[in-house]
Chains A and B, each alone.
Chain A
Amino acid sequence: MRFRSSLQVPPVSYAATLPDASTATGRIPGNKAMWVGIFCEVTEFALMFAVYFIARAHHPEVFRAGPERLSLLAGTGYTLMLLTSGWCVARALHAMRAGRQKACLRWLLGAFVFGLGYPVIKLFEVRWNLANGLDGDAGVFIVTYYYLTFNHLIHVFWGLLGMIWVMLRTGTGSYSADEHSGLEAFACYWHATDIIWLMIFPLFYVLR
C-alpha cells in the first residue's frame, strides 16, 4: 500500500502548469497598470454594446437587414487576422519563458504582420462601403457599426504601437525568461482587444 501510494503522481491543475501560478489566489498577468487599462477598455466597449442593444431593440428590422449590407468576407478576414496575431503573441510569450529570445522576436514579427492585416482590410472595406453608399447617413445600423468598429480600430493601433515597442525591447535583450512582465502585459492587452473583436464580429456581420 505504501509502495503504491509512493508511485501516485499528485494531480496537476492547468493553472499550475503555467509560470508563477504558485498561489491559490492567482497572479496578475503582466502588471496592474495594464489591467487598469484593460478594464477601462472593457468598460468603454460595454457602454457602446449597451447602445447597440438599445438601438437594436428599437430598430429590430434595420438591424436584422444590416449584415447583408456589410462585407462578410472583410469581417471574417479581420477575425482570422486578429486570432492568428493573438496566437503568434501567445507563442512569443512561451518562447520567452523558455529563454528563446530569437524565436520570441520571430513570433512577434509574425504577430505584427497579421495584426497589420486588420487596418489594411479596414482600408479596403471602408472604400467598398463608401462605394456602396454606406456612409454616416446610411442609418442607425451603419452609424453604430462605424462608431464601434472605428473605436476598435484605434485600440488595434495602440496595440500595434505597443507591439513595435516590445519587439524593440525583445531585440535589445531587455526581456529574459525570468523578467518579461512588459511583454506579458502587452500580450494581455492584445488578447483583450481580440476578445472585443470576437464580440463585434457576430453583432454586425452575422446576427440577423
Chain B
Amino acid sequence: MTEIRKLDLAWLGLVALSVIGATLGGRPDTGFGVTVLVALVMGLKVRIVCDRFLELPTARRGIRLAMHGFCYGMPVLVILTSAFGDTLARLTGALI
C-alpha cells in the first residue's frame, strides 16, 4: 500500500470516527462507559493525525514524547475527571 493510499484511508477513518463521536453525543444516556468510549475515540483520532498527517514517527524523540504526552494525557484526564471529579473538586476548592 502506498503512503498516499494510507493517507486517504487515515482521512476516511477520521471521518468515520467523527461520525461515531457525534452519534455518541446524540445519546441521552450518560454512563461512565460512554465517557470511556468518547475518550478512546478522541485518543484514536489524535493518534491517527499524529502518525499519518504530522508524521511524528519520523520526528525527534523529544518532539514525539511531548506531543504524545499531550495527546494521550487528555483522554486519560477525561476518564479521571469523570471517575474522580469529587476528589479534583476538593483538591482545587481553594481556586474557585
Contacts and interface: CB of A to CB of B under 8 A. Distances in A.
Interface in A140-189: 187-188
A203 B75 CA distance: 10
B58 A83 contact: no
A159 to B, nearest CB: 13
Given A28-B59, A46-B70, A94-B3, A194 B49 contact: yes
B58 A58 contact: no
Interface of B is mostly: helix
A103 B63 CA distance: 30
Interface residues of A, number: 54
Interface string B51-95: 111110111110110110011001001100100011011001001
A76 B17 CA distance: 11
A26 B64 CA distance: 9
A18 B3 contact: yes
B49 A195 contact: yes
A199 B46 contact: yes
Given A39-B66, A57-B88, A72 B58 contact: no
A72 B54 CA distance: 27
Interface residues of B, number: 53
Contacts of B22: 72, 75-76, 79, 205-206
A94 B42 contact: no
A207 B78 contact: yes
Contacts of A106: none
Given A39-B66, A198-B49, A203-B78, A90 B7 contact: yes
A94 B96 contact: no
Contact of B61 (A26, A35, A187): A26
A202 B21 contact: yes
Contacts of B66: 39, 42
B73 to A, nearest CB: 8
30 contacts: A13-B57, A14-B51, A15-B57, A18-B57, A25-B61, A26-B58, A26-B60, A26-B64, A27-B59, A29-B63, A39-B66, A49-B77, A53-B77, A54-B96, A56-B81, A57-B85, A57-B89, A57-B92, A60-B85, A91-B7, A188-B54, A194-B49, A195-B46, A195-B54, A202-B41, A202-B78, A206-B21, A206-B24, A207-B25, A207-B78
Q: Closest 7 interchain pairs by CB?
A: A206-B25, A87-B11, A57-B88, A208-B30, A57-B89, A26-B60, A21-B58
